[in-house]
Structure 1
Amino acid sequence: MTTTLLQVEQLQAGYGRSQVLFDISLRLAPGEAITLLGRNGMGRSTTVSCLFGLLPVTRGTIHFAGTRTDNQPSHRIARMGMGLVPEGRQVFPLLTVEENLVATAQNPGNKGRWYLEEVFRFFPRLRERRRNLGTQLSGGEQQMLAIGRALMTNPSLLVLDEATEGLAPVVRTEIWSVLRTLKEEGLAMIVIDKNLAALMKLADRHYIIEKGVTVWNGDSAALRANETLISRYLGV
């Protein structure tokens, strides 16, 4: 059994002539939760785009579950077991909650850990709103739907880009509780968010990205103890 689920080495990428990533390296073990930390515009979301084949990699490598995936088509990467909860949620606005979930199902029926009824048990509010369109949901409900939609792909790695951005405090608390439960169940995660305190409670390790370069990585205790590091790279 492999001890590494995801390995990213010296990743470089950009948009047109504008290079954004210069040297991103990270590692994730099965069942582990890590974060990508940094100020806005430092390359966190660009890294996620590369992981999912949404942006070409110009140099470096990505290996997922023992297979090299850099520059593979995004649909192949998703089928390998990566699930994405994108920034802004991006639910299908004119599909119902149920249709949003079924549209992404990797294993129809009740095959695999996650299927429709299991997602509804996990998110009772989605069951209540199952006939509502995406446009008829609150921001928190849309985020639950985005997580449920990603879980319906039955991933071994769940990636959340801005996990609680724009949500009310009570909904944020619910989302963090959901993520802790998923981690306890052994689902590997990469989480991007601005709530450093919540991230340090959830994640095993953290990676700080500054101007497209991985400048630090370590566990929550090491990060919490280094106020200079937090102020330099994460302070506003």
Structure 2
Amino acid sequence: MDDSATPGHAPPVPPPVKIGLARTLVRLLLIGGLAVVLHRVFVWAESWILQSEYGWAMPGLLVAVLLIYALLIAIPFVPGVEIGLSVLAAGGPEIAPLVWLATATGLTLAYMVGCFVPLKWLHRFLLDLHLTGAADMIARFEAVPPVERAAFVHSFLPARYCGWIVKYRYVNLAVLINVPGNSVIGGGGGIALISGLSGVFRFPPTVLTIVIATAPVPLAIWLFGWQMPWL
């Protein structure tokens, strides 16, 4: 029987519209502000390195730029693929392995943050948007033990047509990370964050998936010495 139909299950009550919208706006402004600040620092540092006579040969600044890049792409809705390509275009094949490492580190960081963020935060966010049905689903999902959550999600999908979404979720994760324009669905950071938040992605295979998914372009540029003058 559906839990929402049982007498002991009270439907979620959203806050007043003004309060919910105000809280949502504050959250978006904080995330957007952090992304803008990191992006400005990143652009400034990258420009400074390119104008310097030492270029990318300055280890300290190179590490700083890559750390900022890793933090930047961990933020949801940031176009990580595009930023990574711009770094590769600016730095050339020599720094491609470091860009790969920074990309994998940033997405792994987003995944780990998702693993530790309580689902009740997402529940509250959905209630602020008055998405009571989705909020109720999240509440029921949170009550399911992590080892059973994949089966719980699978039970809501048409097994004949959509069962592969859960069965091959690590492959789907790799594909979503590499889809151009994925920033409209959260970007690499948002996708990794939700993966951790869901509890259906185990740590070792998820990190391995992220490492493999972020490898093709940097490794190809590094191994074959490709340049990207069009960027």
Both proteins in one fold, TM over 0.5: no
Whichever of the two has the greater Rg, that structure is: 2
Could you state the TM-score of these two structures normalised by the residue count of structure 1? 0.25
Higher relative contact order (CA 8 A, sep 6+): 2
Question: Which structure shows the bigger proportion of residues in helix conformation?
Answer: 2
